[in-house]
Structure 1
Amino acid sequence: MKKISTLLCAFTAFALVLAGCGDKGGGASSSSPSPSSSSAPSSSGEASQATDDISKKLTLTMMVSTAAGGGWTDDHPMVKYLNDKFNIDLKFQWVPGDSYNEKLNVLAASNNFPDVFQIWDAATYSKWMQKGVFLDLQPLLADYPNLVGNVTDEAMAMMNPKGKVFGLPMYAPAFRSNLSIRQDWLDKLDLKAPGTVDEFYEVAKAFTTQDPDGNGRPDTIGFSMSVSNSGDILGIDYLKGAFGLANRWKDDNGTLVAMQTQAEEWKALATYLRQAYSDGVLDKDFPVNKERDPWNKLEGNTNGIAEVNPNEVYKQSVPTLQKLAPEADIVQLDPPAGPTGLRFANTITSTTKIVLNAKLDEEKQRRILQVIDFMFSDEGYIWSKNGIEGVHYTKNGDTYEKLDAFDNDRPQILSTWFIRRFDPSIQIRLWDDKAYVDKVLAWFENTEPYAWTNPAAGLISETFSKSGIQLDQKFTAAIVKVITGNAPVESIDDAVKAWRSGGGDKIIEETNALYADLK
């Protein structure tokens, strides 16, 4: 595709897949299980799996970034299953997420990469791809129909040179952070869900000043946010978009515009947040909050509005909150309309890639792709999400029952942390109640009209790789000073000039050059 829409379609495809329309995104297989289905696969919808020779036992190494709980042991049932099925000795290297990039750099220094691993950072992916670290998978993919059939063409092409595939895309739901509100607080204060940013402010102010938790103490806040180490203001994308800011970049008649140059939009948003901070409506701790703290405070009965993951609302957030407030209820809130009617939601385009070591011989290349192809098949998709029948769940007629081993073994972590189909129901289990499934998927579907796409996702400027984070940190520090009342709103003009003169203009030039190559 030579049109600008090469990337834009990829982002649209993410949104369409989330609404259960993956086939419209240009690549998802029609045999992919319906997002609302929790049943086992039928025999008719399954593409044939690759039949490479597996008579020779191979040792394979796989490095995976982990979150809470860490990875599997070598004798884990899921590891044994893969070993037996593919005649391999699979050696996992489980690396905590906060030290994963550091581990990659150590491996790069010794030129000793595992057989298959993840690259989370787009700049690293671009740099190492050009150095020949990754295997070009394009000549092999036709032999693995489950893999090809359950990844959109646009996502497969993203960040890869035309005609080559050095990395497989890791799917992430575009709308995994959805805006939510305390319905019980609205009811107690006789308020309606806000539809505009002005109404949002009034509701948030009431949550702060009118004692919605009924404990007689001024210990509640309207909404919260955080500031990341890389210089991003997190948790308020719905407000950024409402005031006209881009999701990092916007396309203005074919030219990319960086959000850091949008002085007037930043001043309008900062003025709004400055008032909220002064009134105590905005969490006073936002400059030191960690990314999940606004959500933690929602679950802790102190915050009234926050972005949440629909997959965790009913299984974690509501039960946690109801231990403190038994009548509490969290519901979805549409993004509020800004002064000109703009409404946008937090929208993520995953740039994580799964790569194979370029040094692998053909036997290992194909064995690894067999394993991945299996995970994308109907059978493997069920396995990767739910575990092993008889070990992690049982089937009774048309119903399924989770066994205790599922919680102990956590068989789903490979699909959660490593690679999975393009399907928003990735965290839906066979035994989940249909009413629950419908509620979760409704959050994704309801947010789809408010997609806030970044047309430059995956385009890595050389200057940004060298100094972009430092520039963003300085720029955001200036914005924070305005919000907290430590600098005038007009100082944002100086912050924009400093960003541009410090390297921002070069980033804009280089990113637009990369963008032009897509036309």
Structure 2
Amino acid sequence: MKWKKTAAYAITAVLMAGMLAGCMSKGSGSAAAPKVTLKDGKYDPVLTITTAKQLDENAGKYLNGESLNDNVMTRWGVEKLGIKIETTLLGGDAGNYNTKLRLALTGSEKLPDLIPVYDTSLASDLIQSGQVKDITEDIKNFMPDRLKEIYKQYPTTFNPVIQDGKVYGMAISPNLTEGEVMLIRQDWLDKLNLKAPTTIDEFEKVIAAFTNNDPDGNEKKDTYGFDFSGKDSYNTGWVSDPVMIFSAYTGKSLPGQWYNDNGKLTYGSVAEGNKEALAKLRDWYSKGYLNKELATQGAWDALADFTEGKAGIIIGRPWLYGSVKDVEKNIPGAKIAAYPTIKGVKEAKTYQSGQLNDGVFMFNKDFNNMEAFFLYYDKLYDAAFGTGDFKYGFAKGYDYDIVNGKVVFDPSHFNQPLQNAPSPSKMLFTKNAPTVSEAGKTFYDLANGAKPDTGPLMSAAAADQTTKDGYVISYENRDVLLPNAFNGPPTKTMQSSWEQLSTMEKETFTKIIYSKEPLEAYDDYVKQWHEKGGTQITEEVNGWYQKANETDVMSSMGLK
């Protein structure tokens, strides 16, 4: 899930009153927990840390007999560290999860000890409520040196949780994510004697052929070229992403995010070039080159057409291949290949959103076991370093096995073969496995002759070849990744106007693409965006940016 601002900035008076009531009446219960001692790296008696969890499309899968609070990873924590992780607040998608956290703020539910937050507005509300802990000294006193070295590299990830020089949270597993690649039906390219596109004109030629020239050979006009999602934004940042087309015309100014243009932050959706990108998408949509339901399909839903063999190109992070490769099993002769994204019209490259972290950890104000949290969290990083209990992966028989003395990563070849092996990383409170090396570097090193002699390298070596290719491409083009320059709490005007502006943006872009509004509607949108708060928000965002660069909280946390 992408860590970015949402439109839910307006908070009602009722909610605020509930927040205050919850602040006075609710705690995590940790203060009343029995006294525990840490001996030889393990707590006695067992210490419980409660947490919240947002399930995503790959979470919630367990072997028979396991469950959310009783699985291979929760048992590991109890057996090895004397720490029990118990999920007491569970949400489904992002909206459902945020709603449950907001209800907990009102006092109708209990906030757990550990609170993963994926929304900057909600993080700000938690700080304002007084129900979360200032962890400035905890980081200084309890964060292990290995983690300190990691967090030193990503100082801007603290921006959403800093107020008045105090730190109320920390990034979840900070690291620059992998970039996106084009996944293309190679068999369609071959059948139509086409090469993978490298420019916008070549891209148009390919998707036109995929739509009109019967690439699947069934003598029906039932295929199209480019599959993407426009439901939530035109910059998903992970899968089913159309941002490449916008960047082809706007360069580094990407829809839905802020760009540092020589020290001044500007909003990408009102930048020069968007109108040309919309005109191109409008033309393609009218010709049937795009998925007809793009405005109603979420990023994950939009994969279906590609997986079912209806679409020829989809864009996403390299691991996307694992989610769409069933098309190769279901359709004889189908073959997917990974390629770099196309070049821009004016720039030598097209750019993408770079994600430095997926949300932040925040902590109940009554939670008094930060040392235990850091012990547990640090141990999870052993999988990234290929050390300790997680030398080859998190759990034998889940993400790896040892068969006849050899480490095996294909679950179908385990001692007890599995068709759909549950992912231990999805059972963690981090939601995804922490990483440390530059995204894709293990694959790049293997492609350049490195021996697979560590857990991370072994795991990479066991991946599908298309996945390997994608990660190498991603690593080689990592300079196209642009983290959002604004990742602070919503500004004053954002709180009252951003939801309206975001709705207007999405509706205008979609109506233009669908030809329900003339192309000139974009000019009117830009004018209204500025008049209805955009100009003031830009000033506020730049004021925040200047202050953020002048504020030094890293020293107070011992991270300098």
Q: Tell me if both proteins adopt one fold, taking TM over 0.5 as the criterion.
A: yes
Residue 202 (1) aligns with residue 205 (2)? yes
Which residue of 2 is the match for residue 413 of structure 1? 426
Contact in 1 for aligned 2:52/2:112 (Cα 8 Å): yes
Root mean square deviation, CA, Å: 3.2
**Which AA in structure 1 matches 2:124?**
S
- Deviation (angstroms), 1:329: 1.9
Q: Alignment partner for residue 92 of structure 2, among 96, 110, 116?
A: 96
Using the TM superposition, give the Cα deviation of residue 457 of structure 1 relative to its aligned residue in structure 2, in angstroms.
3.2
- Counterparts of 1:22-421 in structure 2, within 5 Å, are 54-68=43-57, 69-70=59-60, 72-93=67-88, 94-98=90-94, 99-110=96-107, 112-142=110-140, 143=142, 144-151=144-151, 152-154=153-155, 157-161=158-162, 164-171=166-173, 174-175=177-178, 177-229=180-232, 235-244=241-250, 246-247=253-254, 248-262=257-271, 264-313=272-321, 315-318=322-325, 320-349=326-355, 350=357, 352-361=359-368, 364-377=369-382, 378=385, 383=390, 386-389=393-396, 393-395=400-402, 396-397=404-405, 399-400=407-408, 402=411, 403=414, 404=416, 407=420, 409-415=422-428, 417=431, 420-421=434-435
2:547 paired residue number:
517
Which letter does structure 2 place at the counterpart of 1:411? P
Question: Take 2:286 and 2:398, find their aligned partners in 1: how far apart are those partners?
Answer: 55
Q: Which residue of structure 1 lines up, in the alignment, with residue 487 of structure 2?
A: 457
Deviation of 1:265 (Å): 1.4
Give how far 1:119 is off: 0.4
Question: In terms of mean alpha carbon deviation, does 159-168 or 480-489 score higher?
Answer: 159-168
Shift of 1:108: 0.7
Residue among 519, 523, 537 paired with 1:489:
519
| Contact 1:179-1:333 at 8 Å conserved across structures | yes
Q: Secondary structure at the match of 1:123?
A: helix
Counterpart contact for 2:183–2:338, Cα < 8 Å: yes
Return the letter of the residue paired with 1:421: T
Query: What is the one-letter code of the residue matched to 1:181?
Result: I
Quote the offset at 1:345 in angstroms: 3.8
Distance 1:462 1:230 in 2: 23
Residue identity matched to 1:495: Y
Deviations 1:19-52 (A, max 9, x none): xxxxxxxxxxxxxxxxxxxxxxxxxxxxxx9967
1:35 counterpart residue number: none
Q: Residues 308 and 326 from structure 1, CA distance in 2 versus in 1: closer, same or farther, beyond 3 angstroms? A: farther
SS of structure 1 residue aligned to 2:337: strand
Shift of 1:411: 2.2
The one-letter code sitting in structure 2 at the alignment partner of 1:497 is K
Contact 1:194 1:200 in 2 (8 A): yes
Q: What CA distance in whole angstroms lies between the structure 2 residues aligned with 1:73 and 1:277?
A: 43
Q: Distance in 2 between matches of 1:168 and 1:405?
A: 39
Cα offset for 1:219?
A: 0.8
Structure-2 separation of matches of 1:160 and 1:381:
31
**Cα shift at 1:272:** 1.0
**2:543 aligned counterpart, secondary structure:** helix
Q: Distance in 2 between matches of 1:131 and 1:317?
A: 43
d(CA) in 2 for partners of 1:170, 1:380: 20
Query: 2: CA distance between counterparts of 1:384 and 1:482?
Result: 52
Q: Distance in 1 between matches of 2:400 and 2:347?
A: 48
* Structure 2 spans left out of the alignment, 5+ residues: 1-37, 62-66, 443-454, 550-560
Q: Structure 2 length normalisation: TM-score?
A: 0.75
The answer to whether the Cα contact below 8 Å between 2:123 and 2:161 also exists between their aligned partners in 1 is no
Worse-superposed segment, 469-478 or 245-254: 245-254
After the TM superposition, which of the residue ranges 391-400 and 506-515 deviates more from structure 2? Answer: 391-400
- Compute the displacement of 1:216 (Å): 0.6
Q: TM-score, normalised by structure 1?
A: 0.80
**What percent identity do the matched residue pairs reach?**
24
Change (3 A) 1:443 1:358: farther
**Whole-angstrom CA distance in 1 between matches of 2:388 and 2:474:** 20
> Unaligned stretches of 5+ in structure 1?
1-48
Q: Confirm or deny: 8 A CA contact 1:232 1:472 kept in the other structure.
A: no
Whether the 8 Å CA contact 1:119–1:354 is kept in 2: the answer is yes
Specify the code of the residue in structure 2 equivalent to 1:414: M
Per chain length, whose mean CA-contact separation is higher, i.e. which structure has more relative contact order (CA < 8 Å, sep 6+)?
1
| SS in structure 2 of the partner of residue 179 of structure 1 | strand
Q: 2: CA distance between counterparts of 1:221 and 1:392? A: 36
Describe the superposition over 1:198-254 as per-residue Cα deviations: whole angstroms up to 9, x where unpaired: 111111111111111111111111113222346867721111111116122222332
- Structure 1 or 2: more helix by fraction: 1
Inter-partner Cα distance in structure 1 for 2:433 and 2:500: 31
Higher mean C-alpha deviation, range 411-420 or range 471-480: 411-420
CA distance in 2, matches of 1:90, 1:267: 50
Question: How far 1:105 sits from its partner (Å)?
Answer: 0.6
Q: Deviations over 1:320-348 (max 9, x none)?
A: 11133232222222222232135224323
Q: Distance in 1 between matches of 2:49 and 2:489?
A: 32
Instruction: Give 1:379 shift.
Output: 6.4
* 1:268 Cα offset (Å): 0.8
Find the aligned partners of 1:278 and 1:513 in 2 and give their Cα distance. 42
Residues 301 and 124 (structure 1 numbering): CA distance in 2 closer, same or farther, change over 3 Å?
same
**For residues 339 and 289 of structure 1, do their structure 2 counterparts lie closer, same or farther at Cα, with a shift above 3 Å needed?**
same
Report the secondary structure of 1:216's partner residue: coil
Quickly say closer, same or farther: Cα 1:89–1:249, change in 2 above 3 A.
closer
Q: Is the 8 A contact 2:206 2:225 kept in 1?
A: yes
- SS of the equivalent of 2:160 reads coil
Residues 122, 77 of structure 1: alpha-carbon distance in 2 compared, 3 angstrom cutoff: same
